[in-house]
A and B are shown apart, each in its own frame.
Chain A
Amino acid sequence: MNPEAIKSKEIMQGSAAIAETIKAIAPGVIAVYPITPQTHILEHLARLVADGQLKSKYITVESEFSAASVIFGAASAGVRSYTASASQGLLLMTEVIFNMAGTRLPAVITAVNRSLSPPINIQVDHQDTMTLRDSGIIQIYVESIQEAVDTHIQIFKIAEDREVLLPAMVCMDGWILSHAYEPVTLWRDEAVQEFLPPFDPVFQVDPKNPLTYGALTDDDKITEFKYMVHDALIRSKEKIKKVAGEFRDAFGNYYGDVIEKTYTEDAELILIAMGSMAGTIKAALEKLRAQGKRVGLIKIRSFRPFPDQELRTALAGAKAAVVLDRSFSCSSGGILGGEIKACLYGQGGPQVINYALGIGGREIYPETVLEIVNQSERLVESGKIPPETIFYNLNRELL
Chain B
Amino acid sequence: MKLNLGGVTEAGRSKQNRTGNWRYFLPVVDQKRCNGCGTCELFCPDSAIEINNKLCLINTFYCKGCGICARECPRSAITMQVERGVAV
Contacts and interface: CB of A to CB of B under 8 A. Distances in A.
A and B touch in the complex (CB under 8 A): yes
B7 A217 contact: yes
Contacts of B5: 104, 165, 202-203, 228
B37 to A, nearest CB: 30
B3 A221 contact: yes
Contacts of A217: 7
B7 A225 contact: yes
B11 A102 contact: no
A52 interface: no
Interface string B1-17: 00111111111100000
Interface string A71-100: 000000000000000000000000000000
A268 B30 CA distance: 92
A165 B6 contact: yes
Interface string A198-213: 0000110000001111
A330 interface: no
A214 interface: yes
B3 A212 contact: no
A213 B8 CA distance: 5
Interface in A179-206: 202-203
Interface string A105-132: 1000000000000000000000000000
Chain A interface residue count: which class?
A: 10 to 19
Interface of A: 102-105, 165, 202-203, 210-215, 217, 221, 224-225, 228
A84 B11 CA distance: 34
Nearest to A210: B11
A215 B3 contact: no
Contacts of A210: 11-12
Nearest to A103: B6
A150 B39 CA distance: 63
Contacts of B4: 203
Interface string B55-86: 00000000000000000000000000000000
Nearest to A101: B6
Interface in B16-59: none
User: Which 4 residue pairs of A and B lie closest in terms of their CB atoms, listed nearest first?
Assistant: A104-B6, A103-B6, A210-B11, A203-B8
A211 B11 contact: yes
Contacts of B12: 210
Contact of B3 (A105, A202, A203, A225): A225
A103 B7 contact: yes
A102 B6 contact: yes
A85 B4 CA distance: 31
A212 B10 contact: yes
A165 to B, nearest CB: 6
Nearest to A213: B8
Contacts of A225: 3, 7
Contacts of B8: 103, 203, 211-213, 215
A215 B11 contact: no
Considering residues B4, B6, B9, B12, which has the most beta carbons from chain A within 10 angstroms of its beta carbon?
B6
8 contacts: A103-B8, A104-B5, A104-B6, A202-B5, A203-B4, A203-B6, A212-B10, A217-B7
Nearest to B13: A212
Nearest to A201: B5
Most buried by A among B3, B5, B9: B5
A225 B9 CA distance: 13
Given A102-B6, A202-B5, A221-B3, 10 more contacts: A103-B8, A104-B6, A203-B5, A203-B6, A212-B8, A212-B9, A213-B6, A214-B7, A228-B3, A228-B5
A103 B10 CA distance: 15
B11 A212 contact: yes
Contact of A102 (B3, B7, B9, B10): B7
B74 to A, nearest CB: 34
Contacts of B6: 102-105, 165, 203, 213
